[in-house]
Amino acid sequence: MPNLTNSLLVCLSVLTLGADLTISDTEFLATITTNAGIGRPPASSSFSSISVPTPSPLSLVRASNRTSASETNIVVQVGTHAYLPCNVQRLHGKPVSWVRVRDGHILTVDQTTFIADQRFQSIYADEQERWSLQIKYVQEHDMGLYECQVSTEPKMSARVYLKIVVPKTELIGDHNRFVKAGSKVALHCIVRGSIEPPSYIIWFKGNSQIAEGNSRGWYMEIDNEIFGNSSDRQNTIGSLIIPSVSKRDSGNYTCSPSNSAPVTVDLHVLNGEYSASAIMSSATVNCINCLYLGLLLALLKHLT
């Protein structure tokens, strides 16, 4: 009898959720009836002991038909976990569903998940009497509208817009660095637009990670106290310092933050009189010679 009761309850909830959901009624019911516990989880359920972060609350508005409150915006950084809140009190066992608006896909009904992506999970916080949709390790394609739907009469719903922030790594200075042997070199990269700073910044020479405080005295620095244009964004600078470079230090150096794509700089160490300025002067002379040669050829072609 409990299974039959649960099945009847879910049948009613599907009808009240409306016909705009993309999953078929047959598939929906066949899946649900194999899972007991639709509605608010029992006190013994593990969901009641989960602590969920408290984002800004949603205000659900009652109306004669399904009514959406104003959208709530949730901003998270790519790679972190997102919690989309649906504040619903006095459910009296009514199912709560989460739907991805862009394709109408049912993600969850109570604690039952209807998507193969295991990053999605509906969590109930008993002390707050609230359902939240958890999305683990969010990616850029997760950005968009999500709707919380409550099978009440009259129906209630609320939308949450999930915005994904993607930090960007840039080099400070040229992608090609020319330095004189024996000089001190500092390579810098900057991670822009983070909500949370990178937990680490690793430097590589080629494919080999550079160890902190190696035998040659190389060291790394991280400065997180650099804020961007917005109060909730910040920039982080990572630096690799080489006290005295030698010819063998020439090569590719990569700055690899924990929360952003890596960037690479080519370091060219020059011996003796072959300084960076000498190379630039030589390049300038070559360009001038090429220009004169081009003009001469054009003149000869015109005369003939």
In the chain, domain spans: 2-165, 168-277
How many angstroms separate the most distant Cα atoms in the chain?
Answer: 104
Q: Was domain 2-165 assigned CATH 1.10.606.20?
A: no
pLDDT of the residue at 213: 74
Residue closest to 54 by CA, chosen among 152, 132, 109: 132
In the prediction, which pLDDT does 297 show? 54
- Residue 171 and residue 161 in contact, taking contact as beta carbons nearer than 8 Å: no
Class in CATH terms, 168-277: mainly beta
Q: Are 114 and 106 in contact (CB under 8 A)?
A: yes
Nearest-angstrom CA–CA distance, 37 and 169: 47
- How many angstroms separate the CA atoms of 150 and 65, rounded? 12
Residue 294 has a pLDDT of 58
* Ramachandran area for residue 104 (φ above 0: left; ψ -120 to 50: alpha; else beta): left
User: What is the model's pLDDT at position 125?
Assistant: 81
Amino acid letter, 104: G
Pairing of strands 234-242, 156-165: unpaired
Residue 185 and residue 131: Cα distance in Å, rounded?
54
Whether residue 266 contacts residue 175, with contact meaning beta carbons closer than 8 Å, is answered with yes
Question: What's the whole-model pTM score?
Answer: 0.60
In contact, 244 and 182? CB cutoff 8 Å: yes
Residue 131: exposed, middle, or buried by beta-carbon count in 10 A (0-12, 13-18, 19+)? buried
State how far the Cα of 96 lies from the Cα of 85, in Å rounded to an integer: 12
Say if 2-165 and 168-277 have the same CATH topology: yes
Q: Is 169 in contact with 263 (CB distance < 8 Å)?
A: yes
pLDDT by residue, tens only, the chain of 304 residues: 444 444 444 434 434 444 333 333 333 333 333 333 333 334 433 333 334 444 444 433 333 344 445 578 999 999 999 999 986 665 667 889 999 999 999 999 998 999 999 999 999 887 777 889 999 999 999 999 999 988 887 778 889 999 999 999 999 999 999 999 999 999 999 999 899 889 999 999 999 999 877 778 899 999 987 655 555 578 999 999 999 999 999 999 999 999 999 999 999 999 865 554 545 544 444 445 555 455 655 655 555 5
